[in-house]
Amino acid sequence: MPAPEKKTVALLTLGCARNEVDSEELAARLAGDGWQVSTDGSQADVVLVNTCGFVEKAKQDSIETLLAASGTGAKVVAAGCMAERYGRELAESLPEADAVLGFDDYPSISATLDSVLRGEKVEPHVPRDRRELLPITPVERRSAKAVVPGHTVVDAATPAHLRPILRHRLEKGPVASLKLASGCDRRCAFCAIPSFRGSFVSRLPEELLAEAEWLARSGVRELVLVSENSTSYGKDLGDPRALEKLLPQLAAIDGIVRVRASYLQPAETRPGLVEVIANTPGVAAYFDLSFQHSSEPVLRRMRRFGSTERFLELLGSARELAPAAGARSNFIVGFPGETRADFEELVRFVTEARLDAIGVFDYSDEDGTEAAGMDHKVTSATIKRRYEKLLSLADELCAQRAEERIGSTVDVMVDTISDGVIEGRAAHQAPEVDGSTTLVGGFDGAALRPGDLVRAKVVRTEGVDLVAEPVTMVSAVVTTD
């Protein structure tokens, strides 16, 4: 008697790297229950879309992906941030989705998709403020029973290094994200994330080290540490220096050649953390700092802290320790009350900061945020004009910063080799969000593999991207052939 065909599910992930980790938890749950998991929605029984609900464009991308998936004939299920944030409202406005699930549905995802396949009605998720699910006091959150995606511990009675890892890799490249924490305790006036992601919860260091070792055994060579706010890591564990201690431990794992911290809050980036990132072998001297603006009045209205001078001092302290350190940030233009003088102050900061990568966002009201109810709104025409000016300036300045690296040596992680083109990233280039480095000449391309770490000399630039000639192999992938 022939074996029954496996049920197939395609996981499509939108948004940030944190969502990618959540998708791999869902994939592990489904694969463990006998589902055949892929990222190809064209032949699947069920397409599970892990949506993004951060800003309007991300929400629109999520809706378009769900609509496209419905055209394949598969059952379509919405999960992730947009589904968590809007739930029943999304289900009512998008009948093409066969189910809309929240984070609380993740532990029973396999049974839920079985119900969807049988054509049964699945009640849509009813949103609530997820901050209400956890104690106000951070150190009391470990005992709470709320579902926190990416934090599930399998067999808690077993030592961390012996537990099975609830994660199924959907991409097999040499780089993987490692989720430090979920949620956020900050109350930035423009951001709705805490309401649907919940309060800040750190993962235990031993869990992170065990997962990092598992990733290394699967071929991962670079770890990218992700969270809503990595500089808060450990505060709910009673150790505000936890990240400073964790970074060297991760870098020492056999097979891991680079660790990269991301999502740093400037107001929480302490001198000790700057020193560890700048000086620890195996840790990328890379500062992903969430500045958002630099005019002090605008930052105060945003419920944030800092100023042009304080931010320049922070960057200067990093570069004093590591002159070639990379730095990137995002900025919002047109926040309510932003004056011409505020905008020019932002331009001054961006001009002096020498950032390697800059993301520019035009302000828009977000449901449930304090800023949506503020007065002194900037007109859409002014926002558009400021956005275009800052974006153009950012492109020019980042290209100039890349040119400053001509003649220097950089350590390049090889990501892909296709049709003789070898693409990778230097320490100042994070995956997806920053530029890349193309390796030319030097080694025979056939001698390189994805995951190799190669020292190369920068010979020219193409915008923010570098072109470099290999000089020596720093760390080659160990093959078992």
Binding-site entries for [4Fe-4S] cluster? 16, 52, 81, 184, 188, 191
SS3 245: helix
Inter-helix orientation angle 205-217/242-251, to 10°: 20
Binding site, by residue number, is: 16, 52, 81, 184, 188, 191
DSSP 131-153: GGGS-SSGGGGGG-----TT-PP
Euclidean distance between CA atoms 375 and 300, whole angstroms: 15
Q: Cα(464)–Cα(428) distance, rounded to whole angstroms?
A: 11
Q: Which residues pair with 239 in a beta bridge?
A: none
Cα separation, 242 vs 462, whole angstroms: 39
Torsion of CA 82, 88, 92, 98, to 10 degrees: 80
| Amino acid type, 101 | L
Residue 316's CB: how many other CB atoms inside 10 A? 10
Closest CA to 265 of 303, 224, 215: 303
Distance CA 190, CA 184 (A): 14
Dig out the tokens for 374 from the structure.
């503020």
Q: What are phi and psi of 214, to 5 degrees?
A: -60, -45
Alpha-carbon span 338 to 317, nearest angstrom = 29
Location of structure tokens 């924490």: 181
150 burial class (0-12, 13-18, 19+ CB within 10 angstroms)? buried
**Amino acid found at 431:** P
The pair of three-digit structure tokens given for residue 423, joined into one six-digit string? 């693409």
Beta bridge partners of 288: 328
Tokens at residue 150, please?
A: 């990416």
- β-pair type (421-425, 437-439): antiparallel
Q: In what order do the strands lie in the sheet with 222-226?
A: 175-179, 222-226, 258-261
Q: N- to C-terminal Cα distance for the chain?
A: 37
* Rounded CA separation 470/478 (Å): 19
Compute the CA torsion angle 431, 432, 438, 442 (nearest 10 deg).
20
Instruction: Compute how many other C-beta atoms are within 10 angstroms of the C-beta atom of residue 49.
Output: 26
